[in-house]
Amino acid sequence: MTQTEVTLKPSKLRLVQGLIVLLAGIVLAFAVGRMLRDVPHLADGTLPADEIDRAYVEHPWLAYLHIAPSVVYLIGAPIQLAHRIRSKHYTLHRRLGRVLLSCALLGGAFAIVFGVLHPYGGPGEAGASVVFGLWFLVCLVNAFRAIKRDDVVQHRRWMIRAFAVGIGVGTIRIWIFVFTAAGWLDFPDAFAVAFWLAFAMHVAFAEWWLRTSPQPRG
Ligand code: HEM
């Protein structure tokens, strides 16, 4: 079936939009929670007792050069992907796009650095951070290169792939909750498995979406 023969069902679009809101909400809640836990320690010069929290307070630059630009990207990317806004406000799309692309590249690069140097989930999490962090960066660079040669269709496809990885952070949290609440894995192992599972699911989901949904040309 060619892409022009496929029509996007409103129910499918609504379902995916709902999932994006849910997952972005989870990520933003964790980002706020992270700041609320870290800032008092950073202000007082103390270290938290909790092992996960300690890495963020001991290495705030590495951690927040990942978290802060990534949050900006995650909030702004849905605006960029919305066809209605993109087609009506192209100048906004271009200007915001430059800011968000810079944020995503910075956040992605520091995701790899922090994930390799301070992974709570050990080598399993570090490996997933490298693999999917690199994939995230590759998608962004390909999206940028596509728009530089005015290939809007490929630009959009690579941006959807990148966003699918970014929003996967919310699914990681859901898996960690499931694994630990069910007593199947301890906390560090749950991190490692959840990183691989969630990001792999999201990479696969993006490919499914791109194959089964009509792609607007602008
Ligand atoms: C693009 C949107 C992203 C946002 C908004 C985001 C946000 C966050 C936040 C808020 C934390 C702190 C978690 C906590 O307090 O529990 C975090 C940690 C982390 N993120 Fe991201 N992230 C994003 C993408 C990524 C990507 C693409 C990767 C790697 C493939 C990644 C790797 C990591 C790692 C390794 C940690 C440290 C986890 C640990 O404590 O061991 N993130 N991120």
What are the domain boundaries of the chain?
Answer: 3-212
87 pLDDT band (50/70/90 cuts)? Answer: confident
Ligand 1 pocket check for 133: Cβ under 6 Å: yes
Q: Is the CB of 70 under 6 A from ligand 1?
A: yes
Q: What is the pLDDT of residues 109-157, one digit of tens each?
A: 999 999 999 999 999 999 999 999 999 999 999 999 999 999 999 999 9
CB 125 within 8 A of CB 115: yes
The pTM assigned to this predicted structure is: 0.94
- 31 Cβ inside 6 Å of ligand 1: yes
Q: Whose CA is nearest to atom 34 of ligand 1?
A: 115
The CB of 132 under 6 Å from ligand 1? The reply is: yes
Closest CA to 136 of 111, 113, 153, 115: 111
CA distance 101 to 82: 16
Cβ(27) to ligand 1 under 6 A? Answer: yes
Largest Cα–Cα distance of the chain, in whole Å?
Answer: 61
Cα 16 versus chain centre, distance: 15
Residue 211 has pLDDT above 50, yes or no: yes
Average pLDDT over every residue of 199-211 = 97
Residue nearest atom 24 in ligand 1 by C-alpha distance:
166
Q: Give alpha helix (H) positions in the chain.
A: 10-44, 51-58, 60-81, 83-88, 90-117, 122-148, 152-181, 187-212
What local confidence, expressed as pLDDT, does residue 4 receive? 45
